[in-house]
């Protein structure tokens, strides 16, 4: 925010070299004006111009989940391609979690149910970047109940412990407004060390809560963080996107590519 309390018309872009990533709860493409407008969501993604982005609430929630975005348009106009989840014929993501990546391939995809009363899931994928390094992404949208968030964080850590160690980003709407010892995210802190700073991203009109987070399992991966605060992003969803600059020197060399990302169809 500016010193006089006015909000900027255009978001401040992170400066420097590195992989540009973001997480964004698109709120089923319903804005703060209560209007359903997928084009506004698309335009915010264009504003961010990420190399990789994790979206939450990219599908309808009840009944047969249906994707809400035009993935072909996103690919043509931004170069971002959806990780092919294939959870259902109509859904874009897994429990609404969708990962889009530019200039890369996917080696592994895991759709993992998360514990709790609400239907929640984590989407884990290994991204092999054309720059010659690989990155594991865990895209999540944690539950509304505090005890469920704790169980879900522990479940994600257990899932990672059963896989080979790799540079990892856990990205999404954590629904955790608490900081310090009361936060469910302390589970990640105990496993990974100090977490990247919390940035207020909710509610979009005047953010006071850091619900959206980008967490790394290695110190130094996340070089910088910023909320994408623009006139359009304040209108398009009740969450602001969170962006980060990733130091690719901290990532691992690629392994053999199994599956090349292709059009979302």
Q: In degrees rounded to 5, what are phi and psi of residue 131? A: -75, -10
What's the domain range around 117? 19-248
Domain-located, residue 14 = no
Domain-located, residue 221 = yes
What are the tens digits of pLDDT across the range 172-211? 999 999 988 889 999 999 999 999 999 999 999 999 999 9
- Extract the tokens encoding 30: 């319903």
- Strand pairing class (242-246; 252-253): unpaired
DSSP-derived letter for residue 126 is E
Domain-located, residue 9 = no
What are the tens digits of pLDDT across the range 101-146? 999 999 889 999 999 999 999 999 999 999 899 999 999 999 999 9
CB 205 within 8 A of CB 232: no
Domain-located, residue 115 = yes
Domain-located, residue 256 = no
pLDDT score recorded for residue 89:
67
| 79 beta partners | none
pLDDT score recorded for residue 65:
78
150, pLDDT greater than 80: yes
**Number of compact structural domains in the chain:** 1
Angle ∠(131,160,127) on CA atoms, nearest 5: 20
Domain-located, residue 13 = no
- Give me the CATH number covering residue 216: 3.60.10.10
Domain-located, residue 67 = yes
pTM for this model (two decimals): 0.91
Domain-located, residue 258 = no
């Amino acid at each position: 925010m500016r010193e006089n309390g006015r909000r900027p018309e255009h978001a401040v872009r992170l400066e420097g070299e590195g992989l540009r990533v973001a997480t964004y709860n698109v709120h089923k493409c319903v804005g703060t004006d209560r209007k359903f407008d997928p084009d506004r969501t698309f335009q915010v993604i264009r504003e961010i111009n990420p190399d990789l982005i994790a979206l939450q609430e990219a599908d309808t929630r009840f009944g047969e989940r249906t994707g809400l975005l035009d993935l072909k348009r996103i690919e043509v106009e931004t170069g971002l391609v959806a990780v092919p989840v294939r959870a259902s014929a109509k859904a874009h993501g897994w429990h609404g979690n969708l990962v889009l990546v530019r200039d890369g391939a996917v080696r592994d995809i895991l759709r993992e149910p998360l514990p709790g009363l609400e239907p929640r899931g984590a989407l884990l994928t290994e991204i092999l970047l054309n720059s010659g390094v690989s990155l594991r992404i865990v895209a999540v949208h944690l539950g509304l109940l505090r005890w469920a968030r704790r169980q879900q964080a522990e479940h994600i850590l257990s899932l990672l412990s059963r896989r080979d160690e790799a540079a990892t980003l856990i990205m999404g709407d954590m629904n955790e407004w608490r900081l310090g010892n009361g936060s469910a995210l302390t589970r990640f802190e105990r496993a990974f060390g100090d977490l990247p700073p919390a940035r207020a991203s909710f509610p979009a009109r005047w953010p006071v809560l850091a619900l959206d987070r980008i967490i790394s399992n290695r110190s130094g991966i996340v070089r910088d963080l910023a909320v994408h605060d623009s006139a359009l992003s304040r209108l398009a969803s009740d969450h602001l996107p969170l962006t980060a600059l990733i130091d690719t020197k901290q990532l691992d060399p690629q392994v053999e590519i199994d599956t090349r990302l292709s059009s979302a169809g």
